[in-house]
Every structure is written in C-alpha cells, then in structure tokens.
Structure 1
Amino acid sequence: MLSARFHFGLIGLLFALTAWAAPTGMTARAWVSIDAVTGRELAAHQADLPLAPASLTQLMTAYVLLGDIKKNKLSLGEMLSVPPAAEQVDGARVFLKAGEQISVDTLLQAMLVHSASDATLTLVTAADGSEAAFVERMNSEAKRLGMGKTRFMNATGLTEPGHESSARDLAILGRALVSDFANRQTFFTQKELVFKGITYYNANRLLWRDPAVNGLKVGRTAQAGYCSVASAQRGDQQRIAVVLGARSDALRTQDALKLLNDGFENFDSVLLYRARQPVKVVKLYRGISDSVALGFAQNLHVLIPHGSAARIKAQVITQQPVLAPVRKGQRMGSLRLTLDGKPLGEFALVALQGVSVAGIFGRAWDSIRLMVE
C-alpha cells in the first residue's frame, strides 16, 4: 500500500512542476487539472473557491445512481413512473408527462446528454422517494470522497442559495466516476439522444473536437457561467480538467482543451510496480523460509515530468536483520525514489506473504548464522 509519508522534496518538485506547466491565457474563474490515475494535481487556479456548479451537479447524481445499479438496487431496464413534479420542474427538459413509464437507461441518457431536470427528478424520486432524501445521500458521498467545499441543495444543479462546489472537488468526483464506474463511461461519451422524435445534442463540444475526450459533462446557468468537467485518455495516460465560470461556450471549450493538452504534454503517470509484484526478496532469519518477498499491496504509480521515467532511481531500505514471524501485509521497509538526484518519494514496502517461526533447531541454526555473518 502506498505510504502516507512523502518527502518534502516531492512536494516541492510537484509545486515546481505545476508552476512551470500552468497553461497561459486561461479565462475561467476557477480551474484545475489532475492525473486520473494518481490524483496528482497538475495545474490550478482558485481551485478551492466555492462556486455554483450548474448541472455538473448531475455528475454526483449519476455517481449515486450508478452505485445503486452496481448494488442491484436499480437496473438499467427498470421502468420508472414519471412523478407529477417532473412536469413542472425548471431547467432543461425532455418533456416527460406524469405517469409515463420510462427506463432508467433512457432517463440517465437524458440527464447526462441533455441535463434534463425532469429525467433527473424522476430518477431520484424513484431511488429515494423524494429529491430531499436523495440529496442527503449526495452530500454523504461528497463527504466520503473528501469534497470539502461542496454542498448540494438539489439533484439537478438549478440555482439555489448554498448550492456550491469547487473545481478541486469536482475533479475528485470526476476521478471517482472514471475509477469506480469504468464500465459505464459510454453514458459520458454519448453525443446525442433521440427521444420522442427529437434529437438532443450533447453540449460538450470537446466530444467533437478531440477524439481522446471520453467525458464527462458540461453545464451552464446565469450564476455559474459555463462549466465543464472533462476527461481524456491518450494511450495509457488519462487526465481530468475542470473549468468553472467561463464566459462563453467557446472559452469553456478552449480552457478545458488547454488544461488537457498541458497535462499530456508535460507529465507522465508511470506504473513502476504492479500490486503484489516482488520488488526485492530479502534474507529472513528464524523462519520456516529463509527469505521473504517485499512489494506493494496496490499498483504503484508516480507522476513525473514527461519523458523522464528512465532517470528514476530506486533504493530499497530495510532494517536488518529481518526476523520471523512475518505477517502478510506487514510493513518491512520502504522504497526511496529519486529523479535526477532529487527526492521523488518514499513508499512503504510490505511482506507479500506470511512466514511463521521455524522449529527449535532452525532457530538455533539461524542464531549461529546471525553471530557469524
């Protein structure tokens, strides 16, 4: 598992990279870009400023609903009855009629392609009985994800006092959607929806401008301005960019593209070791085995300047001698990384298997070995 400890050199390196790589000519009120795998921030401006998120709110609505589908509380083919309130709701609509039976799949498409408030209200009412009850779950999930500047007052994104989020929080949410629901990403890449003979086009112009873009959503209200959470993948690299408070659709698209391009051109997310891959096998004393493999419980990725992977140096640090018993997952040392001689990070190494204590003769022999080695 990745250690929570990092060298101050790593922090300094990342701040330096951010300052060096920040794109010029940005016009939005707040913005941030991150690496989707590591979650590392690449560039930011007023990223913690609480702002109205418009229909980017529906990304959290989708996150909660997709979680319900994953837990079999809802199914995509399930037919839902449109509540009377959905006919009267403000915002974008697909003109649902009270009592109509519409599938969860179609309603999700309407929400994520067209930001349809009537579809959103139908979904959340079916899930929790009322929008208010559903919003409680949205706020609980926001807290769990660490979205500290976010407070949802509704599920649609309509302007309401106290309804706010931040660029950094929405990047966290975007990363969670990409990570937790990788099999549902077609909802976020869909360019159009035909419903009742009307074609609704996705307002996310990035889906047409850049084939690497694979979501996620755009929004707009008079208070929020033009907003976007964009995701793009090029090869094995994935970036997420959030733009809040842009002055026009064109500027929103321009700013998001700048952030994505900057992230791809200046940084690499590198997989150094896979989960449970032995990093080093160390000598073990007084155990039923004479060695134990050390590694990571999860994949170890690091974020580095573009093209610098070959210059990373690794050093395994353990406290000697290593004695049995050893528990699987027990911290046994650390991996210290440097880049061009500068600290890059230090990560905890754990035992990949447990090793119990040897019998009396084995322990006695190893005691002799320890004295002479």
Structure 2
Amino acid sequence: MMIRGCHCLYEARAYVALVFSLFAALFLAPQEARADSFQTTAPTAILVDADSKAVLFEKNADELVAPASMAKIMTAEIVFNELKSGRLTMDTEFGISEHAWRAGGAGSGGSSMFAKVNTNVRLEDLLRGLIVQSGNDAAIAIAEGISGTEDNFARRMTDRARELGLTKSTFRNPTGYGDPAQKVTVRELSKLALYIIETYPDLYKMFGEREFTWNKIRQLNRNPLFAFNIGADGLKTGYIEESGYGLVGSAVQNGQRLVVVVNGLKTAKDRAAESRKLLDWGFRAFEARQLFQEGQVVGEAQVFGGDQRSLPLVSKRPVRVLVPRGETERVTARVVYVGPLKAPIQKGTEVAKLQVNRGDMKAVEVPLYADEDVQVGTLSQRALDGLMEFSTGWARRAFSSLLERI
C-alpha cells in the first residue's frame, strides 16, 4: 500500500495526499474494554502511548496545576542535556551551600538526600539524590552549581520548557516547592517524560533505581508503581498541599511503553491505585496495528524543477496505530507537506509528515524522508514545471477568490 500525492487546495500551498481507509475489525476483548468506558478519580490525568504518541485517555489534561516534586523532572533534563553536550561530567563536583542545606536539607521538613553543608558532591551522586531520593538539597545544589542561583536556574527551566514545546508550563524553582507562578499541565509533563525517555535512554535508567544511600542513610525510591508487577521503570512522584498527590509514571509490557500522569489526588494510596488502574486499562484496552514497516515507501510528493516529477517518501521507524480492542473503527492517513518540493533534494532529508487518524482523533504523526536524491532538472524540465505551477497556482487563487464571495 502506498500513498500517492494529489493536487489539493490547501493553506500555505500545502499539498495533501489523502491515502487510504483501513477498517480495523478487532473483536479480541469484552465490551467493557471500550475506550470511552474508563473513569478515574484523579482531577487531572493523561495516558499516552510512547511509540505513537497517541493519547489514550485524558481528563483536564491542559489545566494548570502545581507540579510539586514532579518539577524535578525538568531539573534532571537540564542536567542530562549538559552531560550530553559535554559541558558537565558525572565527576563534576558542586558545593552544598548553607542555603541548600537549610532550605532543602534534613531540617527543612521536606525530602532530602542529607548532604552535609560546605561539602562538595559529585554530580552523579547529586542526580541520584535528586531522582531516587527526591532530595531538595540536591536540586538546590544543582541549580546553584549550574546557574549560580535558584532564580537563574528556574528561568532556564522555563526557557528549556519552551525549547521542548512546553508552551504552558512555568517554573520558579528546581525543587517543586509551592509558588503561585509555578504551574504545569499533565499533558506537558507527559511530553517531557517521553522526551527524556527517548533522548537520554542511559541516563533515564536512574529513574528506575529502587534505592540510594548517601551519608549512610538508605532511602527507597518513592515511586509506588515499583511495588506492582506491571513493568514500571520511572519517573517521579510529587506532593505539596497546593497540588495534592501526583505522579509521572512509565511502564513497559510486551515491548509497549505507556506514560501516565495524574495529579490532585487526596492520598498517596489513591495516587498509586489510580496510576496503576490507568496503566492496566491502557495495556488491556488497546492493541497496536502496524501500517508500514521501517523504510517502506508510504507515499509520494511532487517535485518542482527536478530531474523527476515525484519523490518517494519513507519513515525511519515502523508506523503503528493503537486501536481499541472489540471495536470497528475507520483509520485514515494522509501525507502533508508544503510544496511542491524544490530541487535539489538530498536523500534522507525530512520533507513531509504522515498523519494517521483513528475516527476523528489524530492517532499518529511521524516525519517522512526523501528516499532518493533529486537533482536539478534540465532547462526544459524546469520551464515545464514553472508553467504547470503558474497555471495551478492561478487556479488555486481563482478558486479561493470564488469561495470568499460565496
């Protein structure tokens, strides 16, 4: 099956190739597994499939809420990015200032790695103190070591959030301590978690460590999902009075990863139960169907001024869609690109996107890449393309003008 391009009137002169309709007839589970039957007591929640980025369930997912210690996921991402770039190493040492010790240490009343004041601690140990023990002293020491002050680091957290496409979340400190201006959404926390999992697979493993001992004090990871046999391997809990009990969690079963975020629950027990219930339902209620294999040609795009008129498009990873078990649902796909594409084009260049819809909901969007080199065409080829583009462009403008009058 291959998607062939068609000339369509589209904003920004984007050509859209409407391709195929698939009818997924799945009668593999009882009716109670329907996607619209699930409910949760969590005030805000989201469940996302990591591979397809499909949202399987959401409830008030764009509501701004206090993140509590889930803010430390962003603190960790900044450190991971510094490590990946080579600006820091695991052996880099940061000092434990009196402020870090007083505001985040044992006497502060919050979670702590119990680092001693006026000592230097290796970044690798601070990271484990931050991630496994949820140490506020570790978070402050990291912030001061990288940016000088918590305030400077918090601005960097927000700037980094914008770079990653988190448009609503705002950070005011690296710990998650309450601040009226520190707000996130569960949707954006899920995006941040997925980014970390995909971008830093080796460093992400720290989120799955079950315990860490520092200053002769052994502490267990606070993630309640580790107590269940559901394949959990991260990420972070949070609680302050303003937020209630929250969790960003991830689990893998049979090669499928789901990310869950809940917030606003009344007790730690409720947090554990609702998170597990969401994950159990997600693994049970959906199954993956592969539409295209890695490297398979999925469609074509038109080319202007090249030695060929069309260009085959491929995905660099398998394209799968999650479909509810026990339901028959229409699946459609289309290739979207701004074009026609102009030669020359190098093989492997990202030039389009494949959008797959399940019913009325977008289920998957993946980048598509040129599968061939396209060289600049001969003078006669370019002249013919120019004439065709002029005529079709005139037709589009005329049709658009006609629509405006109707």
Q: What residue is the counterpart of 2:89 in the other structure?
A: 75
Taking the aligned partners of 2:363 and 2:138, their CA distance within structure 1 comes to: 47
Taking the aligned partners of 1:127 and 1:271, their CA distance within structure 2 comes to: 44
Q: Is the 8 A contact 2:291 2:321 kept in 1?
A: no
Choose the corresponding residue for 2:373, options 341, 354, 360.
354
Q: Is the 8 A contact 1:30 1:49 kept in 2?
A: yes
Report the residue type matching 1:32 in the other structure. Answer: I
Distance 1:311 1:349, change over 3 A: farther
Taking the aligned partners of 2:88 and 2:212, their CA distance within structure 1 comes to: 22
SS in structure 1 opposite 2:132? helix
Q: What residue is the counterpart of 1:235 in the other structure?
A: 254
Structure 1 residue 226 corresponds to structure 2 residue 245: yes
Q: What residue is the counterpart of 1:33 in the other structure?
A: 47
Q: Is the 8 A contact 2:306 2:343 kept in 1?
A: yes
Q: What residue is the counterpart of 2:147 in the other structure?
A: 128
Q: Is the 8 A contact 2:53 2:363 kept in 1?
A: no
Structure 1 residue 87 corresponds to structure 2 residue 119: no
Q: Is the 8 A contact 1:131 1:155 kept in 2?
A: yes
Q: What residue is the counterpart of 2:178 in the other structure?
A: 159
Taking the aligned partners of 2:335 and 2:133, their CA distance within structure 1 comes to: 54
Q: Is the 8 A contact 2:313 2:368 kept in 1?
A: yes
Taking the aligned partners of 2:287 and 2:223, their CA distance within structure 1 comes to: 26
The TM-score with structure 1 as length reference comes to 0.78
Choose the corresponding residue for 2:319, options 301, 325, 340.
301
Q: What residue is the counterpart of 1:55 in the other structure?
A: 69
Q: What residue is the counterpart of 1:65 in the other structure?
A: 79
Choose the corresponding residue for 1:46, options 21, 41, 60.
60
Q: Is the 8 A contact 1:292 1:353 kept in 2?
A: no
Q: Is the 8 A contact 1:5 1:346 kept in 2?
A: no
Taking the aligned partners of 2:65 and 2:357, their CA distance within structure 1 comes to: 39
Taking the aligned partners of 1:346 and 1:63, their CA distance within structure 2 comes to: 24
* Shift, 1:230, TM fit: 0.5
Q: What residue is the counterpart of 2:390 in the other structure?
A: none
Question: What are the ranges of 5 or more consecutive residues in structure 2 without an aligned counterpart?
Answer: 1-13, 25-32, 383-406
SS in structure 2 opposite 1:243? strand
* Shift, 1:298, TM fit: 3.8
- For residues 1-373 of structure 1, what are the structure 2 equivalents within 5 Å? 20-22=34-36, 24-89=38-103, 90=108, 91-270=110-289, 272-273=291-292, 276-279=295-298, 294-296=312-314, 298-299=316-317, 301-306=319-324, 327-328=345-346, 351-356=370-375
Higher relative contact order (CA 8 A, sep 6+): 2
Query: Which shifted more, 175-184 or 141-150?
Result: 141-150
Question: What are the ranges of 5 or more consecutive residues in structure 1 without an aligned counterpart?
Answer: 14-18, 364-373
Q: Is the 8 A contact 1:326 1:351 kept in 2?
A: no
Taking the aligned partners of 1:99 and 1:323, their CA distance within structure 2 comes to: 60
Taking the aligned partners of 1:336 and 1:132, their CA distance within structure 2 comes to: 40
Q: Is the 8 A contact 2:53 2:364 kept in 1?
A: no
Taking the aligned partners of 1:58 and 1:334, their CA distance within structure 2 comes to: 33
| Cα deviation 1:29-77 (Å, max 9, x = unaligned) | 2111111122221111111111111100000000111101111111112
Distance 1:135 1:23, change over 3 A: farther
Matched positions, count = 348
Q: Is the 8 A contact 2:315 2:367 kept in 1?
A: no
Q: Is the 8 A contact 2:114 2:214 kept in 1?
A: no
SS in structure 2 opposite 1:39? coil
Distance 1:300 1:79, change over 3 A: same
